[in-house]
Amino acid sequence: MKIGELAARANLSASAIRYYEKLGLLAAPQRIGGQRRYPSGALQRVLLVRFATDMGFTLSEIKLFLNGLGDHIPVGPRWRKLASRKLVEVKQNISRSLKLKSLLQGLLRCHCASLEFCVTRLSLSSNLRGLSRSNR
Amino acid sequence: MKIGELAARANLSASAIRYYEKLGLLAAPQRIGGQRRYPSGALQRVLLVRFATDMGFTLSEIKLFLNGLGDHIPVGPRWRKLASRKLVEVKQNISRSLKLKSLLQGLLRCHCASLEFCVTRLSLSSNLRGLSRSNR
DNA sequence: CTAGAACTTAAAGTCAACTTTAAGTCAAGC
DNA sequence: GCTTGACTTAAAGTTGACTTTAAGTTCTAG
């Protein structure tokens, strides 16, 4: 499989594939005439990476539990640790977003002339602060 | 009020204040000996901007409904439109995060040897795709 | 009066995950 | 054999919200 086909099947771009390789998320494949030729297993690997990024892991986190360079903790516990950390983040994000939602709904129901009034009237100061402001 | 005091009171840095000024989110204040002197109203303004960014608006969106350059739609409707668009995003983010949460919990309960097995065993292919992958 | 903290500017750097560019090489179909 | 599309590289660009840097100016306390 050439890079274009792999990219198409994984629904991302060829340059993204090369980028994953450079980051060490994907093994450098055999080459024919300088061009990359992938075994079918590569697709599964790429899809796993996509899946993990969709779950909110960063590429360097993914690298950690895919080929765990750096420390000597085995894959299982390492993944488990990262995943439970991520779970906390996700939960925080949920509660933050729920707050946000009712806040926005409140502001939309409000008929103040200016936003400043709304904000002070509804005294929505900032119970928003300090919650993980990024699920990516 | 000098910039350092304003920054401290708004809990951000002096350079961020200058940045807001450059973006047009904050009026250029009077100067004494080249240094910025802010009226007390400036604090409220900065806090409003912080509040809006906390709600997930980008600085350029905030600029739009603060001093709406560009179009001639009055502030009320403009804010309303942006806010309801944001509300949709937030709702999408919530449902995405809820899926993520149960996914992670499922994976954590699973005792497969490798993540690949887990993923295929739980057939968690990607019902995750296509949901707003950014609440900022 | 002077040390040093706080201010000034424009421009460059940061992070993540890629994309784009430029300039060139290879492969497949006719 | 030639065209054309797919591939190759390294380096620079993108986005958003700032921060950092460098070099210089001003304010303030003692």
Q: In this structure, is residue B124 part of a structural domain?
A: yes
Residue A60: how many CA atoms within 13 Å on its side-chain side?
A: 1
Chain A environment of B98 (Cβ under 8 Å): 94
Q: Radius of gyration (Cα) for chain A, nearest Å? A: 22
pLDDT recorded at residue B67:
73
Q: Which backbone phi and psi does A15 adopt, to 5 degrees? A: -65, -30
Task: Say what percent of chain A tops pLDDT 90.
Answer: 51
pLDDT band at A136 (very low <50, low <70, confident <90, very high): very low
pLDDT in the model for residue B82: 86
Contact A26, A49 (CB under 8 A): yes
Domain-embedded: residue A66: no
Specify if B61 maps to a domain. no
Calculate the angstrom distance between C1' of C4 and CA of B107.
57
**A–B CB contacts, 8 A cutoff, strictly below:** 104
Flag whether pLDDT at A129 surpasses 70. no
Nucleotide nearest to B50 (CA to C1'): D17
> Is there a single domain that holds both residue B89 and residue B128?
yes
Q: Which of A108, A115, A119 sits opposite B87 (nearest CB)?
A: A108
Q: Which residues of B touch A97 (CB under 8 A)?
A: 90, 93-94, 97, 135
User: Does residue A50 sit within a domain?
Assistant: yes
Count of domains for chain B: 2
Nearest to A25 by CA among A16, A34, A38: A16
What pLDDT is stored for residue B136 in this prediction?
Answer: 46
**pLDDT tens for each residue of A73-84:** 666 777 888 889
The CATH number given to whatever domain includes residue A38 is 1.10.1660.10
**How do the pLDDT tens digits run along chain B, 136 residues long?**
999 999 999 999 999 999 999 999 999 999 999 999 999 999 999 999 999 998 889 999 898 888 755 555 666 777 888 889 999 999 999 999 998 899 889 888 877 666 666 666 555 555 555 455 544 4
Considering only CA atoms, which of A64, A84, A83 is closest in space to residue A74? A64
Q: Tell me: the pLDDT tens digits for A29-67?
A: 999 999 999 999 999 999 999 999 988 899 999 998 887
Residue B63 placed within a domain: no
Enclosing domain of residue B32: 1-56
For residue range A110-120, list pLDDT tens digits in order: 776 666 666 66
